[in-house]
């Protein structure tokens, strides 16, 4: 009789230990889930930015990792530089204004190319001949696997005269390095080692 009582007591202790262990595991599991969900919720809240709209109401904006959009910003930076640098009107002030804005996006190599054209009388011929020049960038191919980023740009130049329209193939290459963002350089890049690989006439259309 006493032996049965002892066995029953031992079984009861085993069951209590088992229940205690299971309960502890469940508690740790619940705590782990709560901590994970709390961290997840905090991360989601950190991605939300509350913007005050004209001092009246709050609007929610979502933040993003800056590196996600860097390739897009890099291509836009190069595209904008080409549009400013190679879009030319037969007006000295307009040329200087565009070129100065382009210089904010590049280093000394772009200035050297500009000085070379200037010394050859390119801009004077544009002004005296009342020639319009515009550019269409077809594609910007960049390698983001290594830094600085190597970029090659394929575009077409349209040389518009009163008598004809000349279309040129323009291919350039350069390196892109990260820079400080500013009003004159919103993408935060600088073009280095700018070089024109090809600039040749492909078609002339009489007007």
Instruction: Quote the tokens at residue 74.
Output: 């890099």
Give the integer Cα–Cα distance in Å for 131 and 88: 8
Confidence of residue 25 (pLDDT cuts 50, 70, 90): confident
Q: At what angle do helices 92-103 and 70-86 cross, to 10 degrees?
A: 160
- Supply the pLDDT for residue 46: 61
Of the ranges 14-18, 112-116, 178-182, which one carries the lowest mean pLDDT score?
14-18
Confidence of residue 51 (pLDDT cuts 50, 70, 90): low
pLDDT tens-digit map of 92-124: 999 999 999 999 999 999 999 999 999 999 999
pTM of the model: 0.69
Instruction: Quote the tokens at residue 116.
Output: 């070379």
What are the sequence ranges of the domains in the chain? Answer: 2-62, 67-206
How far from 65 is each of 118, 132, 186, CA to CA, in Å?
42, 41, 17
Peptide bond just before 206 cis, omega within 30 deg: no
pLDDT tens-digit map of 141-160: 999 999 999 999 999 999 99
67-206 fold: Nuclear Transport Factor 2; Chain: A, (3.10.450)
pLDDT higher than 70, residue 1: no
């Amino acid at each position: 009789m006493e032996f049965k009582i002892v066995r029953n007591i031992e079984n009861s202790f085993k069951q209590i230990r088992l229940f205690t262990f299971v309960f502890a595991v469940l508690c740790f599991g619940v705590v782990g889930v709560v901590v994970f969900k709390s961290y997840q919720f905090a991360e989601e809240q950190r991605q939300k930015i509350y913007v005050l709209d004209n001092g009246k109401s709050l609007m929610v904006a979502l933040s993003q990792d800056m590196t996600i959009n860097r390739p897009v910003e890099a291509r836009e930076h190069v595209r904008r530089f080409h549009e400013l640098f190679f879009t030319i009107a037969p007006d000295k002030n307009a040329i200087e204004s565009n070129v100065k804005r382009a210089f904010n996006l590049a280093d000394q190599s772009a200035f050297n190319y500009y000085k070379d054209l200037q010394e050859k009388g390119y801009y004077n011929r544009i002004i005296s001949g009342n020639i319009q020049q515009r550019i269409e960038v077809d594609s910007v191919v960049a390698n983001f696997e290594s830094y600085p980023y190597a970029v090659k740009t394929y575009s077409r130049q349209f040389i518009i005269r009163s008598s004809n329209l000349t279309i040129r193939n323009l291919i350039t290459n350069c390196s892109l390095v990260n820079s400080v963002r500013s009003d004159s350089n919103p993408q935060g890049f600088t073009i280095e080692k700018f070089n024109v690989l090809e600039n040749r006439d492909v078609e002339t259309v009489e007007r």
